[in-house]
Amino acid sequence: MDYHQLRHLTTIITLITLLCNPLKVYGYSQGAPTRACATMVPGHGVPAQTGPADNYALQVEPINGGRDVSVSIVANTGHTFTGFMVQARHAANRQKLIDGVFNEDKHSQIRNCGTDRA
């Protein structure tokens, strides 16, 4: 096989490989869409984590005499993460969202899920 035939064959194999293995990436530059409220699945194609959280810690602290809570998500040393979803729900009825005030910072965004959605 000469150089031109080999080059042509390589090009064909590369094209076949690219066409047979399409890579789709779904992301939301503005964060998860509001429709993610019901399922807690952002819809970007990455499955939810099912195992223990070894790369971050969730810290929940009561404030204002236990009337409110402060929730922080902190990456463990040497780890980073991007993207999270948190909902506040009643302990007695986990289908009911808590109507409250949530503060965002430059690293997070708030979605108004409404208190009538489960």
pLDDT at 25: 45
Average pLDDT over residues 58-77: 84
Average pLDDT over residues 19-27: 52
Q: Identify the CA nearest to 38 among candidates 73, 72, 107, 89.
A: 89
Write out the H or E segment, with its range, that includes residue 59.
strand 56-63
pLDDT band at 19 (very low <50, low <70, confident <90, very high): low
Range of the domain at 54: 1-118
Sign of the Cα torsion 100, 105, 108, 109 reads: positive
Domain count along the chain: 1
Q: What percent of the chain has pLDDT over 90?
A: 0
Q: What is the pTM of this model?
A: 0.53
Q: Identify the CA nearest to 117 among candidates 48, 39, 56.
A: 39
In this predicted structure, the answer to whether residue 39 has a pLDDT above a threshold of 60 is yes
Written as six digits, the tokens of 6 are: 């080999």
* Residues 115/99, Cβ–Cβ less than 8 Å: yes
